[in-house]
Chain A
């Protein structure tokens, strides 16, 4: 049985300029999950980022389950539960959706106690195993496991929770895997209520393992083709945005600083720092945009923030953190010399340093906090600040 506990489709729980691109990706992911044969997906708060409509359109082979999302009149919007026959056993799937940061007017979330009482009354007598897919807070999941003894397994979607091997809380095993598709969990339990609960008391009563989804694993051609298809669609959207007329607000947000438009790029540094710049050009930072070109991802607004230098051509650089939180179409229209992670992306103060021909020598330290805005544990789990910065060619 294949299940997903939620927060499948979107990275943010608020809409952004990436919405059109993200919806294309979301549809592709859902189609891929259908191909994989997933049997249920819990609706997570991040799945509601684009509103209800995209989810309701994605109603094909894999049902969305939520026992607590209802209309204003109290009618269920998604499947409140599923009963799946596997061999001689019936498996019940229920789901609880956590509150998104911003809710729209076309639904409400019922209290989890009320939701559980309602659905469990409907299904408990029919199910041999009852599974909850929950994107509620960890402490709430703990309460649920302890008080609703009809629930046998809880798979959670808590994006900061990391890998959590099955742990007995109350009378339920509770587990999740790390976010962003790095792991799958595999849990084997005995079926039948009598066996299930006693098995949990025994450390050998169930089997569990994590599968690390490493890039070296064998690839799937049909999935490869699907991903290429999705990326082409994203590129089309990005290309159209690149060549759209620039809005006046964009111009207002990006005032030009005194001096050349190359103030922000390595061109401003090369006269005094020739060798350093030469080393940088060959480095991953210097080649960061080429890496996108190689993967045909140069129009992908999700990728660009960490592969270019921000467009705010002022002495205070447009921070990478801001770019990541609010990537926008200006990233598609940068001058060529900003198409890399240039000096000023890391060296705060370099703009003024260059403007004063090196007289103003103060540069802020490069900190781990700055680096991990792009080299986050999610994107780059192997990143070690001290080791990696020691290897930077621009330090030589």
Chain B
């Protein structure tokens, strides 16, 4: 199930990745098949 709450990690990661993207490298953060799951039920 989704840990959207924890996707602050993405923000931090993408910030650092963008900062580290050099002329010669590309960093991609990728996801798939979230299937509409937002939070654990209980």
How far apart sit A6 and B21, CA to CA, in the bound complex (Å)? 25
Name the distance in Å between A208's Cβ and chain B's nearest Cβ.
10
Q: Are B32 and A300 in contact (CB under 8 A)?
A: no
B32 interface neighbour in A4, A32, A189, A224, Cβ under 8 Å:
A4
Selected from A89, A187, A300, the residue in CB contact (under 8 A) with B41 is A300
A61 at the interface (CB under 8 A from B): no
Contact residues of A between 72 and 127, Cβ < 8 Å to B: 86-89, 91
Q: How far does the alpha carbon of A226 sit from the alpha carbon of B41 in the complex, in Å?
A: 16
In the complex, the answer to whether A180 meets B37 with C-beta atoms within 8 Å is: yes
**Contact A177–B32 (Cβ < 8 Å):** yes
Closest-CB distance, A8 to chain B (whole angstroms): 5
Instruction: Determine whether the beta carbon of B10 is less than 8 Å from that of A288.
Output: no
CB-nearest residue of chain A to B12: A218
Determine the chain B residues whose CB is within 8 A of the CB of A5 once the complex forms: 30-33
Our pick among B3, B33, B36, B41 for the contact of A214 (Cβ within 8 Å) is B3
Stretch of A20-28, A259-267, A313-321, A342-350 contacting B (4+ beta carbons < 8 Å): A20-28
User: Would you give the 0/1 interface string for B1-32, flagging 1 where the beta carbon is closer than 8 Å to chain A?
Assistant: 11111111111011001000101111111111
Min Cβ gap B7→A in Å is 6
Known: A25-B36, A28-B38. A2 touches B29 (CB 8 A): yes
| CB contact list, A119-167 vs B, under 8 A | 129, 131, 153, 155-159
Stretch at the interface among A62-70, A190-198, A244-252, A361-369: A190-198
Q: List the B side residues contacting A184 at CB < 8 Å.
A: 9-10, 13, 29-31
Which chain A residue shows the least CB distance to B20?
A: A188
Least CB distance from A10 to B in Å reads 5
Q: Contacts A3-B30, A91-B26 known; A186 to B13 CB distance under 8 Å?
A: yes
Shortest distance in angstroms between A359's beta carbon and chain B's nearest beta carbon? Answer: 37
**Given A8, A177, A188, A215, which contacts B36 in the complex, CB threshold below 8 Å?**
A8
Q: Looking at the complex, which one of B3, B32, B37 makes contact with A215 (CB distance below 8 Å)?
A: B3
A11 CB contacts on chain B under 8 angstroms: 35-37
Closest residue of chain A to B15 (Cβ to Cβ) is A37
Nearest-neighbour CB distance to chain A for B37, whole angstroms, equals: 5
Q: A191-B25, A195-B24 are in contact. Are A180 and B34 (CB under 8 A)?
A: yes
Q: In the complex, A185 Cα to B37 Cα: how many Å? A: 18
A211-B13, A307-B41 as given contacts; A10 in contact with B30, CB under 8 Å:
no
**Is B1 touching A185 in the complex (CB atoms < 8 A)?**
no
Given contacts A3-B28, A187-B28, A223-B5, contact A26 B36 (CB under 8 A): yes
A294 within 8 A of B: yes
How many inter-chain contacts with C-beta < 8 Å in the A-B complex?
Answer: 208
A residues within 8 A CB of B33? Answer: 5-8, 44, 46, 157-159, 176, 178-180
Q: Which residues of B contact A273 (CB under 8 A)?
A: none
Residues of A within 8 A of B4 (CB): 29, 32, 181, 223, 227
Contact pick for A185, options B3, B24, B30, B36, CB 8 Å: B30
The reply to whether B9 and A189 form a contact with Cβ atoms under 8 Å apart is: no
Q: Which residue of B lies closest to A294 (CB)?
A: B42
User: Across the interface, which residues of B come within 8 angstroms of A1, CB to CB?
Assistant: 26-29
Which residues of chain B have C-beta atoms less than 8 A from A189's C-beta?
Answer: 25-26, 28
Say which residue of B32, B35, B42 sits within 8 Å of A156 (CB atoms): B32
Pairwise interchain contact A9-B5, C-beta atoms closer than 8 A: no
In contact, B35 and A220 (Cβ under 8 angstroms):
no
Least Cβ–Cβ distance between B36 and chain A, in angstroms: 5
Once the chains bind, are A303 and B42 in contact (CB under 8 Å)? yes
For B3, give its contact among A3, A182, A195 (CB under 8 Å).
Answer: A182
Give 14 pairs: A residue, B residue, CB < 8 Å, sorted on A.
Answer: A1-B27, A6-B32, A8-B36, A25-B36, A25-B38, A29-B38, A87-B23, A157-B32, A181-B34, A184-B31, A186-B13, A213-B6, A213-B7, A215-B5
**Top 6 nearest A-B pairs by Cβ distance?**
A181-B2, A291-B42, A303-B41, A179-B33, A217-B6, A213-B3
